[in-house]
Amino acid sequence: MRVTVIDYKAGNLTSVLKALRHLGADVEVTESDCALVENAERIVLPGVGHFAATARLDQTGLTQSIRAAISRGVPFLGICVGMQWLYAGSSEAPQQPGLGHFKESCARFPEGHEKVPHVGWNSLEAGAKSRLLAGVSPGEFVYFTHSYKAPVSADTAATTHYIEPFASAVERDNVFGVQFHPEKSGETGLKILRNFLEARP
Amino acid sequence: MITKRIIACLDVHAGRVVKGVQFVDIVDAGDPAALAARHAREGADEIVLLDITATHEGRQTLLDTVRRTARELFVPFCVGGGIRSAVDAAQVFEAGADKVSINSAALADPMLIDAIGRSFGAQAVVVAIDARRDPEATDPVRDAQVFVQGGRKLAGRRVVEWAREAESRGAGEILLTSMDSDGMRTGFDCELTAAVSEAVSIPVIASGGAGTVDHFVDVFGRGKADAALAASIFHFGVSSARSLKQELARAGVSVRLPC
């Protein structure tokens, strides 16, 4: 399985690459190779850090390449900020548009007596028809670290509760996103990454 | 529901685990990679590797150790000890760490927190604070003295104000060690932990003083800790992080189970 991982200089790729390779994927990394991304078999967009970092995808032209790949059915997985980028945007960087594949926008957890960021292991309530979360039982735990999140909507594949329910996974056809870090979520995370690697276009 | 984390800590010197958890039936009790893997298998929510070598020559050994330990580890992995610059941190990330823990270097140059956070994100920066209550201060707990160099030297900072500064500079978590409690096995310093946890919005990891399962229950309740470091859980009458968490669950603490 060939996987193209996009490096847009938002944090550390090592763990994502390691997990994909552990699962037997043939991984290639690119910062700006539009042709490579357009012709990819599978695309992973990782990312921890600030939503503004996704501006680099526009500057390099990769946004259009990803759009083209997605429209021809290439399986795409966005992780953390990579998932948030699939939406219209985020209040973390209001001037920076997302891909807009999902029409909602991401926002910060409301202030209250709970801590923000949301850091640690929290449980998933996955929808029955999700391909990405096939074999994940209700209540399985995954590792989160984030302050912004996507709202629950028709495309939500799993919800998690912290302060309020939010979309911890999103899925429509060949486009998948996870707010948590599957590469840091033990066996459950590896199962989810394996599902992605095995998803048919 | 968000769960309280049990973090296994390995103290490493020259590439070998020198204290912490003792296994009776592991072939190489001093190998960090083997021990980290075993902890992850047995339910630890996260692994911290603290390098206490602190020599220049030790750097390459540490990076090799981190690389070997990270290879088959799929839970969060934090590395501390001897990280003095953003370049040091970058090498440790490159070797496979998800977070770095910085202590003396952050006190010597607080801008280091900003620098690492800018490049790798706040979630990757853990600021470790060693503090001791100051009986002469108006508020001995909130104004506990911060120490550097493994607790040998006063930093001239107070625990709550330093934790707040670390947060404002972009630290993602605080690893708080009570020097009064460390090694005593009489329980975590819950007042100190709660004072810091209430003063910041980032997670606080409690360290120092655990002797029984009840001490963990206490620090997650009264101490308002988000996570706790278990440096030697085998001394607490439990056989693994999993059994520690099972007992915590029975006491009403929300933990990641099954794991």
pLDDT tens digits for B21-34? Answer: 444 444 456 889 99
The pLDDT value given to residue B239: 73
- Tokens (6 digits) for A36: 């490579």
Give percent of chain B above pLDDT 90. 73
Which residue does chain A place closest to B39, by CA atoms? A186
Q: Is residue B239 part of a domain?
A: yes
The residue extents of the domains of chain A are 2-198
Split into its structural domains, chain B has a count of: 1
From B45, B51, B88, B130, active-site residue:
B130
**Dist. CA A41–CA A38, nearest whole Å:** 9
**Dist. CA B195–CA B217, nearest whole Å:** 17
CB spacing of A50 vs B121 below 8 angstroms? yes
Fold classification of A2-198 is Rossmann fold (3.40.50)
**Dist. CA B129–CA B137, nearest whole Å:** 18
Give percent of chain B above pLDDT 70. 92
Q: What is the mean pLDDT of residues B83-108?
A: 95
- 104-163 of B, contacting A, C-beta below 8 A: 120-124
The pLDDT value given to residue B79: 97
The pLDDT value given to residue B218: 98
CB spacing of B121 vs A123 below 8 angstroms? no
Q: Is residue B157 part of a domain?
A: yes
The pLDDT value given to residue A201: 81
The pLDDT value given to residue B58: 73
- Tokens (6 digits) for A42: 């599978």
Q: Is residue B258 part of a domain?
A: no
Give the domain CATH number at B76: 3.20.20.70
The pLDDT value given to residue A36: 97
Residue B229: closest CA among B4, B7, B36: B7
Q: Where are the beta strands (DSSP E) in chain A?
A: 2-6, 26-30, 43-45, 76-79, 89-90, 105-108, 118-123, 125-126, 141-146, 148-149, 156-162, 164-172, 175-178
The pLDDT value given to residue B21: 44
From A31, A50, A80, A164, active-site residue:
A80
Higher pLDDT, B214 or B18: B214
Q: Is residue B257 part of a domain?
A: no
What is the domain extent for residue B83? Answer: 5-250
**Dist. CA B52–CA B55, nearest whole Å:** 9
B248 vs chain A: nearest CA distance in angstroms? Answer: 16
The pLDDT value given to residue B240: 86
B225, pLDDT greater than 50: yes
Higher pLDDT, A44 or B10: A44
A106 is catalytic: no
A19 vs chain B: nearest CA distance in angstroms? Answer: 7
The pLDDT value given to residue B149: 86
Q: Is residue B166 part of a domain?
A: yes
B202 vs chain A: nearest CA distance in angstroms? Answer: 6
Give the pLDDT band (50/70/90) at residue A48: confident
Q: What is the mean pLDDT of residues B133-153?
A: 95
CB spacing of A145 vs B256 below 8 angstroms? no
Mean pLDDT across chain B: 91
Least confident of A192-201, B20-29, B160-169: B20-29
- pLDDT one-digit tens code per residue, A62-99: 999 999 999 999 999 999 999 999 999 999 999 999 99
H or E element: which one contains B50?
Answer: strand B46-51
The pLDDT value given to residue B71: 93
- 69-88 of B, contacting A, C-beta below 8 A: 70-72, 74-76
Mean pLDDT across chain A: 96
CB spacing of A10 vs B121 below 8 angstroms? yes
